[in-house]
Amino acid sequence: MAEFDTIRSRGAAIGQAEIDQGLRAHMNKVYGTMSVGMLITALAAFAISGLTTTTDPALAAGSIGNGILLTNFGALLYTSALRWVVMFLPLVLVFAFSASINRLSAAAAQLFFYVFAATMGVSISWIFIAFTSYSIVQVFLVTAIAFAGLSLWGYTTKRDISGWGSFLIMGVIGLVVAMIINIFLQSPIMMYAISSIGVLIFAGLTAYDTQKIKTTYLAHASHGDQEWLGKAAIMGALNLYLDFINMFMFLLQLLGNRN
């Protein structure tokens, strides 16, 4: 009997070790995919912004604040009706991705995510015109440090924070509505309030989503469905990517130095 208990305990220990190793690999894939997406976004934003401005008045098709001259492409992207498409396309792609994830393969889901990341880069390319490069880098580093700490806490905490989800999602919906309203109001005070609340909401979502990724993996690891786990990693990367991007954008509104 004692020998049977020893064998059983060893088997349980080996099983737990395999789950721990699988969880580490899963989280590494989540963070790795997210990091590649962030790099694609940064490169796309920087490249597009370089095509939208000029210093030659003869080549300018328009201008925006502080005498910044726009090329034909820049005027099309930032001052024509196309700007609304560019602004809301990432949101449409997020909903489309969520609706189609069950029908996509893991490889197709990953490709979709990278296309989305490039689209997001185009959508936020204006920050390289509106803010100084130094402040963009500075805020990015602040965001990265905050994100790492929040995500680590969400991964290691023993506290169940799953109850945060509904409250935070309601906060995101409220933010979107307020931002749409402020597009027309153009209120600096309202923008400051939106940015401050937005930082807090996406800080909470960073910890919440990290714990959710972990608990989702632990709940399904024993099933051995690698295709499903692969898609779960992509969805986790998308959620954390959105948390990072939104926290960065709201912090940039609060702390960034404008050109």
Give per-residue pLDDT as tens, 110-144.
999 999 999 999 999 999 988 999 999 999 999 99
What SS3 class is residue 62? strand
| Distance in Å from the first CA to the final CA of the chain | 76
Spatial strand order of the sheet with 53-54 comes to: 53-54, 68-70, 62-64
Task: Indicate the residue type of 228.
Answer: W
Q: Which two tokens stand for residue 205?
A: 């979502």
Please give the pLDDT value at position 248: 97
Name which of 118, 133, 100, 101 is nearest 241 in CA terms: 118
Please give the pLDDT value at position 198: 96
Q: At what angle do helices 133-156 and 226-255 cross, to 10 degrees?
A: 130
Name which of 50, 65, 63, 174 is nearest 121 in CA terms: 50
pLDDT, averaged per 10 consecutive residues of the chain (259 residues), comes to 45 55 91 97 94 76 72 86 90 90 90 96 93 94 97 94 92 92 90 95 97 90 75 94 97 88
Please give the pLDDT value at position 13: 45
Q: Which two tokens stand for residue 213?
A: 């990724």
Residue 177 CB: number of other CB atoms within 10 A? Answer: 10
Please give the pLDDT value at position 227: 80
Spatial distance between the Cα atoms of 187 and 182, rounded to a whole number of angstroms: 6
Asked whether the CA dihedral 154, 123, 185, 189 is positive or negative, the reply is: positive
Please give the pLDDT value at position 4: 38
Task: Indicate the residue type of 200.
Answer: L
Q: What are phi and psi of 104, to 5 degrees?
A: -85, 150
Q: Give the predicted TM-score (pTM) of the model.
A: 0.88
Q: Got the DSSP string for 211-223?
A: HHHHHHHHHHGGG
Q: Which two tokens stand for residue 69?
A: 């001259």
Please give the pLDDT value at position 12: 45
Please give the pLDDT value at position 153: 96
Q: What are phi and psi of 62, to 5 degrees?
A: 170, 180
Residue 204 CB: number of other CB atoms within 10 A? Answer: 19
